[in-house]
Amino acid sequence: MKLSPKRIFLIVLLIFITVFLIVIFAILNRPTRSLTEAEKQEALLNILGRPVQLMDKSVPTGSVIYQGKYYTFMYPKAATKYEPQLQQNTYLEGFKFDLADPKIYTVTEVDKAPLQAVLSDNTGVRMRLMENDIYKEATISADNQTGLSFEKNNADGVEKTGFFLVNGRYYSFSFNGSDQQAIEALFQEVISTLKFL
């Protein structure tokens, strides 16, 4: 059987297309070389415009002490602390920190109380007492002083705040987040180590 030139051309064309597709497939599916750590750092530096830490940072464990002018307490070493903006402060002293996992925001403040003040004169306490359908009230103590705590747990998250009136000053400790057990544990750690100066 003799093949016509037209059939020979079609067979050669099909063989050529098949070889071409195999070569393209092989080129596209060849294994790629992984980037070294230095190459990753350089690429991310070019993209972000700043160095990037690619290695996992170990989370510090344990506690550290906050030593203020009017109070001192222990808080987690893993916390990120924020320095107060002195020109914006209307209170005597404040300290803020947060935890990343689980996310908890903490704000502590000391305000001067008027003469003959009682704890319920504090606006934060008064507001929570008026909203007693939202806040659960309890008595707390720290450094031989009695105070009040208020807890709110709703769709907005969990808030636990403690208040004290000591030596003519209001002290407040507010913890906000979504993990009630973690907030309670942090609240207990701070309040149980709290000392009024």
pLDDT tens digits along 83-133: 766 556 678 999 999 998 889 999 999 999 999 999 999 999 999 999 988
pLDDT tens digits along 151-169: 999 888 999 999 999 999 9
Check residue 60 and give its pLDDT.
72
Other CB atoms within 10 Å distance of the CB of residue 127:
11
pTM strictly above 0.75: no
**Under 8 Å between Cβ of 171 and 163:** yes
Q: How far apart are CA 149 and CA 172, in angstroms?
A: 9
Check residue 120 and give its pLDDT.
92
pLDDT tens digits along 60-88: 788 899 999 999 999 999 998 887 665 56
pLDDT tens digits along 25-41: 888 887 777 778 778 77
- Strands annotated E in the chain: 63-67, 71-76, 80-82, 93-100, 103-112, 136-142, 145-154, 157-166, 169-177, 195-196
Query: Can you give 53-65 as a three-state secondary structure string?
Result: CCCCCCCCCCEEE
Residue 153 three-state SS: strand
Q: What is the CATH number of domain 63-196?
A: 3.40.1000.10
Is the bond leading into 102 cis (omega within 30 degrees of zero)?
Answer: yes
Strand arrangement of the beta sheet that strand 80-82 belongs to: 80-82, 93-100, 103-112, 169-177, 157-166, 145-154, 136-142
